[in-house]
Amino acid sequence: MKKTYFASDVHLGSDLFGPPVEREKQFVRWLDTIKADAEALYLLGDIFDFWFEYKKVVPRGFTRFLGKLCELHDQGIEIHYFTGNHDMWLSGYLANETGVIIHTQPLATTIGGKQFYLAHGDGLGDNSLAFRIMSKVFHNKFFKFLYSNLLPTHIGIGFGSAWARSSRQKDLKNPTPYLGENKEHLIIYSKKHLNEHPETDYLIFGHRHIMLDFPLPPHARILILGDWMRYFSYAEFNEEKLELKQFKNPPF
């Protein structure tokens, strides 16, 4: 039976939980295990800890991962890549090189007869001033232009990596534990979304770095995917059931 897989928050390149290459290898091993029965793969954001595409230059590294993406794509697996808050600046390279379909906005789509709502999840349900300012700066075309064209590449990448490192310290090392139904932005947001789109069956998000499978009666569910820093978690949908799972590193 063909399956659809969902994963997020791999933060490739981050050394917060040991050598980055070890986690990259582990994620690639998982991609290797799913390629036998995957029809589609949804990467729901923050796959890279920091990523930026200049006109002629991309950050170095990640070759195993990029190669594996190409392999899966060439084999006919549809790969969807959602930008997160750590890898929002894409300008064609990743899509052209690996064949992934880039999404910069949430996506409502039908898979196996079920209605899915997919997003990285940053900012959804969060109306704080801090978020709005950050978001304006990072999505500002002029700022992106300055960054791409005026800053020397190594300084831009160095600055970006340093930013990712500083912003991840509190978020990634010790993610805020589950806050409860009434405080989790993504649950609040999902309830609102469900009111407006009652046909939705499954809402899947990344971003929070917690694993959560939350029912929204009568029929909907919210999944928060966890991450590949502490949980090595993903969701699997086989057209009958949707499950949140953890990759148990197999002997190689």
Footprint on this chain of Mn ion (rule: CB under 5 A): 9, 46
Beta strands in 44-176 (DSSP E): 78-82, 101-103, 107-111, 114-119
C-beta closer to Mn ion: residue 24 or 46: 46
- In angstroms, what is the minimal distance from the CB of 14 to Mn ion? 9
Give the CA distances from residue 66 to residues 52, 70, 71, 75, 130, in Å, rounded to whole numbers and listed in that order.
Answer: 14, 6, 9, 14, 33
C-beta closer to Mn ion: residue 16 or 57: 16
Phi, psi (degrees; rounded to nearest 5) at 163: -65, -45
- Dihedral (CA of 60, 62, 63, 67) sign: negative
Say whether 203 sits in a helix, a strand or coil. strand
- In angstroms, what is the minimal distance from the CB of 39 to Mn ion? 26
C-beta closer to Mn ion: residue 4 or 14: 14
- In angstroms, what is the minimal distance from the CB of 17 to Mn ion? 13
DSSP string, 42-71: EE-S-SBSS-B--SS---S--HHHHHHHHH
- In angstroms, what is the minimal distance from the CB of 210 to Mn ion? 11
C-beta closer to Mn ion: residue 86 or 193: 86
How many CB atoms are closer than 10 A to CB 116? 21
C-beta closer to Mn ion: residue 7 or 220: 7
The two three-digit tokens of residue 247, written as one number: 């990759």
Q: Write the single-letter amino acid at 144.
A: K
Nearest residue relative to Mn ion (C-beta): 46
- In angstroms, what is the minimal distance from the CB of 144 to Mn ion? 20
d(CA 95, CA 75): 16
- In angstroms, what is the minimal distance from the CB of 219 to Mn ion? 29
C-beta closer to Mn ion: residue 9 or 53: 9
d(CA 206, CA 57): 28
